[in-house]
Amino acid sequence: MAKLLVLTLLGLGLAFFKDHRSSYLARMTASREVKSVELPNCKLIKGIETGAEDLEILHNGLAFISAGLRYPGIKSFEPDKPGKILLMDLNEKDPTVLELKMTGSNFDASSFNPHGISTFTDEDNTVYLLVVSHPDFKSTVELFKFQEEEKSLLHLKTIKHELLPNLNDLVAVGREHFYATNDHYFVDHYMKSWELYLGLAWSNVVYYSPDDVRVVASGFDFANGISMSPDSKYVYIAEWLAHKIHVYEKHANWTLTPLKSLDCETLVDNISVDPVTGDLWVGCHPNAMKIFSYDPENPPGSEVLQIQNILTEEPKVTVVYAEDGKVLHGSTVASVYKGKMLVGTVFHKALYCEL
């Protein structure tokens, strides 16, 4: 009888594992092959070799680039070096990148591990850069003031909170005010792995201000990129493993109300919004298994989506760029400025294109 019970429990366990294995592979789009969509006027950006996980372009064409992310379970070509913020002027005929010097008496540059970034421009045109960082694989938001003449970032503050344990991306709505995504519920790495495998969909979005911190949206299967419409009325959230972009209406009290969801049929990462047209530009992963099981002989591919009229009943989704990893390994972000496009990756190179 005891043997029968053991065999029964073993059989149920194997069936449970097999069922979730199938779901896990589907969420990772593990069997998907990339159909190439090429652009004629693209080149790799010199000086970016260890990723450009996120980027943001100001209205004047200056682009901030988050480089050198070290993330558990994902390849890093320089695991012992701190990350950095790069600057690129897209008004130049042949733009190059410059590493911004980071200053501040209480800032530890040696542990800087940048992930998602966002900017906020004050009424006096002062630009503040908010950066998700993972010192010792924890989560903080680092607040900087951009000093354009000195080409430097002055560190002002480190933000930590118990509701911000697993930060991925953020969108600034003030100097110290933002919405941020937590991509996991658990903090322990082992439990994170099970959360990912089982598809628990327990990650969330948090609103932060110095006086008010609260969860404003939840139930995501790996909440990833987050951005906002040009009129600041809507917040866009990428649910990575559900392959969806969610549209939320933003209210005066900072609460969010779900409005609609768009199935993108690929793993959507960071979202950039064209301030002129309102179009969404999304860096995507065609096959996420290749991100977590990196093989230089069979690298992860890249994909860029342009989403037009997302607030209408029939949004237009266009694959602008796609390739199987021969050029870029694992695209995470794309953004445009006056007919030029930048495409970044989680740990590899970055691309500059003239559309």
CB atoms within 10 A of CB 242: 21
Taking the C-alpha atoms of residue 31 and residue 207, their distance in angstroms, rounded to an integer, is 36
Catalytic member of 115, 134, 246, 329: 115
Token pair in block for residue 121: 């421009």
Q: Is 224 annotated to bind ligand? A: yes
115 is catalytic: yes
Q: Is 270 annotated to bind ligand? A: yes
Q: Is 354 annotated to bind ligand? A: no
Q: Is 182 annotated to bind ligand? A: no
Q: Is 269 annotated to bind ligand? A: yes
CB 203 within 8 Å of CB 192: no
Residues facing 142 on adjacent strands: 131, 158
What is the set of active-site residues? 115
Binding residue numbers for Ca(2+): 53-54, 117, 168-169, 224, 269-270
